Structure 1
Amino acid sequence: MSSRTMSGRRHGAARTPLSGGRVLAVAGRVVALALIVFFAVGPVLWMVLSSFRPADELFRSDPTLVPSSLTTEWYAEVFDSEALRWFANSLVVAVCTTTVSLIVGTAAGYAVTRFTFPGRRILLACLGVAYLFPAILLLVPLYLVLVTLGLVGGLAGIVIAHLTVTLPLTTWLMKSFVEAVPRELEEAARVDGLGYLGSFIRVTLPLLRTGLATTAMFSFILSWDEFLLASVVSQGDSMTAPVGMAGLVTSFDIRWGAIMALSTLVTVPVVVLFLVLQRYFEKGLTAGGVKG
C-alpha cells in the first residue's frame, strides 16, 4: 500500500470527528433557530387564527391550533365600533411623531457629532439618562404641562407625549449614523463653495438614507404601539388604537374575539412597514454600529 493512500486514510479518519461535530453544530443552530421562530411567531399565529375562531372555540379546555370553522364576526364587530377612527388617529399621531423625530433628531445628531458647543456633553448624557427611567415617571409632569397648554384630549398633545419617548432614541441613532459618514466628504464640499447647511443637505443627508429609514421604522413602531401616555392624554374622539383596544376589556366582559381581531389589524401596518424598509433596516443595524 502506497504511502499516499495511507496518508489519505489517516487524514480521512482525522476529519471524521470534525464532520460529526459540524453536523451537531448545524443541528444545534437549526433547533435554536426553530425555537426562536416558534416563540416569536407562535403567539402572532395564534392571535391571527383566534381572530377567525367562533365564540365557542375561544374558551375550549382543549384548544386546537387550526379552528374547525372560520368566522368574520369579530372583524364585523370591530368595524361596527369606532375602530376606523382609532386607526386614523394612530396613523396621524405615528406619522407626525416620526416626521418631527426625524427632522429634529437628525439635526441634533448632526450637531452633537460635527460641532463642539457648551453643554454638548451634558446633552449627550441626558440622551442616555432618558432611558434609565420608566415612562410612567414622566406621566404626571407631562400631563400638567399639556393641561397648561390646553393640549389634553387632542392629537397634538399625544404627538408631544410620544416625542418624549421617540426623540432621545432618534437623536442617539442618528448620531451614530452621522459618525459613520467621513468628515472629509463634507470638507471637500465646503472647499467647493458649499456651506455647512449645503454640505449637509447635498452630501451627508443622501448618505443617511439607510439610517433615516431604520430610525423612522423604530420611531413609527414606538408611537404606533404606545399605550401608557396616550391613555392619559387622549380623550373621546382622539383615542388611538391601543387605547381603544383596552376599552374592549370591561369589568363585566372581555371581548376576546374582538381583541384578537383588532390586534391583528394593528399588527398589519407594522408588518407592511417592515417589509418595505427591510433592506434598509438590515443595512442600518450594521452601519449604525460602526462608531459611537
Structure 2
Amino acid sequence: MAIAISATMVFIAPILWMVTTAFKTGNQAFSADVQWFFIPTLDNFARVLTGSNFSFALVNSLQVSIFSSFIAIVLASGIAYPLARFDIRGKAGIAGTILSFRIIPPIVTIIPLFLVMRTIGLNGTLASIIILHVFMNLPLAVWLLRGFFEDVPKEIEEAAHIDGLGHVQTFVRIVVPLAMPGIAATALLCFVFSWNEFLFASILSSAGSQTVTVALTQYVTPVGTQWTQIMAAGTLVAIPVWIAALSAQKYLVRGLTFGAVK
C-alpha cells in the first residue's frame, strides 16, 4: 500500500504544483518559505485568456482534436472490421504493417509532409494539422478496434444475416453498439494524443492556427519564463482532458477490459 501511495504521489505532485502555482502571485510562487496556505488569485488566468492568443489556441485545439479523432475512428472502423471478420489473405501482415507506421518517428516525416502541405496550399491551416493527426492516430486506432471487433461474438452477426441484414447494416446496427465501449476508449486515446501533439502543430501552424501546445511556448522568452502564467495556461490545457476522461470513465474502463473475460 505504501508503495502504491508513493507512486501515486510521484505522478500527482507535479500536477498539484502546477495548479497551486497557477493561483499564486509571482512573489508567492518564488518565496523561499513554503506557503501551504495563501490567498488565491485569478490574475494569471485573466492574463492568459485576455492578454494573448491562448483562448484562440484552445478553440483551435478543440477543433483539431475532435475532428481528427472522429475521422480517425470512422476510417479505422472501416479498416479494422474487415480485418477482424473477413478471410483476407495476409491480414495479419497487413495489420502489422499498419501498426508499424505508428512507430516511425514523426521527425523523420515532418519535412516531406511540410513540403506536401505547402504544395497543395494547406500549410499554416487547421486542415493540415487535422489531416496529419488523423494519420497519426489511424494505425493505433485500427489495431485497437480490430481487437474489439474480434471480441464481438460471430453468432450474433450470423443471426443478423439470417434476419436479412447485409454486412454494412450488421456492422452499423449490431457490431458498433456492442463494441461501443471499445470505440469510446479508442476515441478518447485519439483525442488525448491529438490534444498533446506538438511537433506537427509547431511546424505546420501559423499565428492564426496555433494549438495550445504551441501557444504555451510564448511564455518562455529570451528575457525569462513567465512561470505563473505558464502554470495557469497548463491548467487550462489539462481541463478538457480531465473532463473528457471523467465523462468517458465508464466507457474507458469497459473498453480497455472489453473481451478480457469470456
Place the TM-score, normalised by the shorter chain, in its bin. Answer: over 0.9
Please give the alpha-carbon distance, in whole angstroms, between the structure 2 residues aligned to 1:122 and 1:143.
29
1:56 maps to 2:30: no
Please give the alpha-carbon distance, in whole angstroms, between the structure 2 residues aligned to 1:123 and 1:252.
51
Letter in 1 for 2:46: A
Q: Which of these residues, 141, 148, 161, is aligned with residue 170 of structure 1? A: 141
Letter in 2 for 1:286: T
Q: Which of these residues, 64, 72, 80, is aligned with residue 101 of structure 1? A: 72
**1:72-221 equivalences in 2 (<5 Å):** 72-80=42-50, 81-117=52-88, 120-221=91-192
> Which residue is equivalent to 2:38?
68
Please give the alpha-carbon distance, in whole angstroms, between the structure 2 residues aligned to 1:68 and 1:208.
48
Q: Could you say what secondary structure the match of 1:238 adopts?
A: coil
1:75-103 superposed Cα distances (whole Å, 9 cap, x missing partner): 11101211211111000000101110110
Letter in 1 for 2:94: L
1:2-34 superposed Cα distances (whole Å, 9 cap, x missing partner): xxxxxxxxxxxxxxxxxxxxxxxxxxxx21221
Superposition CA RMSD, Å: 1.7
1:120-173 superposed Cα distances (whole Å, 9 cap, x missing partner): 344212223123332221211211221121111111000011122211111111
Quote how far apart the aligned CAs of 1:62 are.
Answer: 4.3
For structure 2, the 5+ residue unaligned runs are none
Quote how far apart the aligned CAs of 1:59 are.
Answer: 2.3
TM-score, with length taken from structure 2: 0.94
Task: Give the 3 Å change call, closer, same or farther, for CA 145–123 of structure 1 in structure 2.
Answer: farther
| Contact 1:210–1:283, Cα closer than 8 Å, also in 2 | yes
**Which has the larger Rg?**
1
Letter in 1 for 2:180: R
Task: Give the 3 Å change call, closer, same or farther, for CA 289–159 of structure 1 in structure 2.
Answer: farther
Letter in 1 for 2:16: L
| Contact 1:174–1:211, Cα closer than 8 Å, also in 2 | yes
For structure 1, the 5+ residue unaligned runs are 1-29
Please give the alpha-carbon distance, in whole angstroms, between the structure 1 residues aligned to 2:236 and 2:135.
26
Letter in 1 for 2:41: T
> Which residue is equivalent to 1:268?
239
Quote how far apart the aligned CAs of 1:271 are.
Answer: 0.6
| Contact 1:54–1:69, Cα closer than 8 Å, also in 2 | no
> Which residue is equivalent to 2:17?
46
1:171-205 superposed Cα distances (whole Å, 9 cap, x missing partner): 11100100100111111111111111111111111
| Contact 2:72–2:135, Cα closer than 8 Å, also in 1 | no
Q: Could you say what secondary structure the match of 2:223 adopts?
A: coil
> Which residue is equivalent to 1:248?
219
Please give the alpha-carbon distance, in whole angstroms, between the structure 2 residues aligned to 1:262 and 1:246.
10
